[in-house]
Structure 1
Amino acid sequence: MAVHAHPDDESSKGAATMARYVAEGVDVLVATCTGGERGSILNPKMDLPDILENITEVRRQEMEKAREILGVRQQFLGFIDSGLPEDENEALPEGCFALQPLEVAAAPLVAAVREFRPHVILTYDDDGGYPHPDHIMTNRVSVEAFEAAGDPDRYVGLGEPWQPLKLYYHMGFTRERFEALHAAMTERGIGSPYGDWISRWEDRPQKWEITTRVPCGDYFETRDLALMAHATQVDPDGFWFVCPRELQREVWPTEDYHLARSLVDTELPEDDLFTGIHAGEVCEPSPVGK
């Protein structure tokens, strides 16, 4: 199960991983916390008044296209997009996802976990990957669901208890990765857009270590097609697609994660999200690495 804040997040974070596991016969569910109702139109080719007026329905249609491309199941959890404040003093809109009490915000996810019964959950780190209020809340509800879904005394009435075995944080946007891609593009005389990104990391040490690198370069095209399905959010001639896929496969053919919780024995580093689960040995919950 991959837990995301908005439609399009599933295609920009861990999409090739999901496509790989789907191809290997794994049942994958994307749980989308909000409908992306307050998202802007980020693709100038789609910046049309009639689309903006119907942005909620348009983004649902885009999500369905991406879901079909990735081969996953998908479920909206029913919360309203909080939007991204222009400054830290701007109040969030009343009733939005990020302002919900934790137990209210986590309840639909707990129910989804108990119904779908995943062994592995993917989500963002405690900074949200970047500090969007919905991404931060997505981390909080994911951790809450991981820890509570197996407890029969919590969230009573939301299905039979089920305990997931591993919880991962996405680690796709790391300085190490972008430095490698930047160097490879520069060496080949391809203009790199990553210089500004790299400079922003100078005073921002990486909080979580990469524990798990999943080889999935064969599915980068599927990832890109799913991302382009979110046409209001992604410019097909924009940043996401500047680095040639062939070069990405050569330089960085994995999607990367931090193992935040594990109830099974595993050895780090890993190259498979299901390492330790195949053996079936369950132990007490514990954080793994930082």
Structure 2
Amino acid sequence: MTSPPPVVPSLLGVFGHPDDESLLAGGVLAQHAAGHARTAVVTMTWAPESPRATELADALRVLGAGVPRMLGYGDARNPHAAPGRPRLVDAPLEEVTAALVRQIRSLRPDIVVTHDAVGQLTGHPDHRYTHQVTLLAVNAAGHGQLYPGTGPPWQPAALYLATHPDSGTGNLGELLRRVGKSVLSVPDELVSATVDVRPWMACKWAAILAHRSQVERERPLPGILSRLPEEIRHRVIGTEYYTRISLVHSPGMTRLAT
């Protein structure tokens, strides 16, 4: 008699911009979706009616991560992202946290994945603010006294920070420096999960390519990757790194699929 397949934990990605989900966690999102786990993504910036929302929808469809869930704030570096809305970095912390708590309580994920504290290699201010808000929201979502009116309490079991170790920037760091971007990584000992996502490489790359406006430009990472030889590109996107932050003890439901 064969044993039943292991239960793959549900997964919510919380990222600053459309394309972050594919670049930073596309392999893990595709992996969990392939394991029949519920997967979803919340995107903090860009308006739901913007062209980049359409690209995001296409990328999430490829990854199996549902439909876009966009909070609609402005991008700190792009005034056209959400006309009439405040930039994410200018929005009140309580307001943004409440909006994300509502999403967490609605989706009820076992695991949440977001940016690391340094802002994902380039140190983008939206990445850093998203990190801060997600830390607060993941902890607050389980407390019924906090943010009443945003749904029944739900406590995710673990939080993973998508990151890059000092030893793992390699070709990617060199490519970013060439276009004048910073390269911020973390000490290797802070990485608690190194995920080989090569089995989901085709899916991840298709999701990255779905962000067509970024592929067409010179400086965004999708554009940089599209101009690379396939062998180098595979080395850059074939591994994902995470720092795990435990929130509650929940055996069997707190680790990314491997």
Tell whether the structures are fold-level matches, with TM greater than 0.5.
Answer: yes
- Distance in 1 (alpha carbons) for counterparts of 2:17 and 2:182: 25
Q: 1:265 to 1:26 in 2, by over 3 A?
A: closer
Shift of 1:252: 7.9
- Distance in 1 (alpha carbons) for counterparts of 2:145 and 2:245: 24
Aligned mate of 1:244, from 206, 215, 230: 230
Contact map agreement 2:18 2:56 (CA 8 A) in 1: yes
Q: 1:141 to 1:29 in 2, by over 3 A?
A: same
Shift of 1:73: 1.6
The correspondence of residues 2-21 of structure 1 with structure 2, limited to 5 A, is: 2-21=13-32
Aligned mate of 2:149, from 150, 157, 179: 157
What is aligned with 2:74?
Answer: 81
- Distance in 2 (alpha carbons) for counterparts of 1:125 and 1:74: 24
> Is 2:82 aligned against 1:122?
no
Contact map agreement 1:32 1:74 (CA 8 A) in 2: no
> Is 2:118 aligned against 1:107?
no
Q: Which amino acid aligns with 2:86?
A: G
SS in 1 for 2:245: strand
Q: 1:36 to 1:84 in 2, by over 3 A?
A: farther
The correspondence of residues 1-290 of structure 1 with structure 2, limited to 5 A, is: 1-35=12-46, 57-84=50-77, 95-129=86-120, 130-171=122-163, 173-179=164-170, 193=175, 206=186, 209-235=190-216, 238-241=223-226, 242-245=228-231, 248=234, 253-264=238-249, 272-273=255-256
Shift of 1:7: 1.1
Shift of 1:262: 3.5
1:143-200 Cα deviation digits (max 9, x unpaired): 01111000010001110000001011101x4442233x58xxxxxxxxx847759x96
Contact map agreement 1:6 1:36 (CA 8 A) in 2: no
- Distance in 1 (alpha carbons) for counterparts of 2:210 and 2:191: 29
Shift of 1:257: 0.3
Q: 1:22 to 1:94 in 2, by over 3 A?
A: closer
- Distance in 1 (alpha carbons) for counterparts of 2:167 and 2:103: 35
Q: 1:245 to 1:219 in 2, by over 3 A?
A: farther
Q: 1:252 to 1:106 in 2, by over 3 A?
A: closer
- Distance in 1 (alpha carbons) for counterparts of 2:91 and 2:143: 22
Q: Which amino acid aligns with 1:244?
A: E
1:55-112 Cα deviation digits (max 9, x unpaired): x531111111111111112343433223328xxxxxxx98221111211011111011
1:212-244 Cα deviation digits (max 9, x unpaired): 012221111111111111100123994214152
Aligned CA-pair RMSD: 3.2
Q: Which amino acid aligns with 1:256?
A: Y
- Distance in 1 (alpha carbons) for counterparts of 2:118 and 2:137: 18
Q: Which amino acid aligns with 2:249?
A: V
SS in 2 for 1:14: helix
Q: Which amino acid aligns with 2:193?
A: T
Q: How many equivalent residue pairs?
A: 231
Contact map agreement 2:165 2:185 (CA 8 A) in 1: no
- Distance in 2 (alpha carbons) for counterparts of 1:132 and 1:35: 15
- Between structure 1 and structure 2, the one with the greater Rg is 1
Following TM superposition, where does structure 1 have runs of at least 4 consecutive aligned residues deviating by more than 6 angstroms?
Answer: none
Q: Which amino acid aligns with 1:68?
A: R
Q: Which runs of 5+ in 2 are unaligned?
A: 1-11, 79-83
Q: Which runs of 5+ in 1 are unaligned?
A: 38-55, 86-92, 183-191, 267-271, 276-290
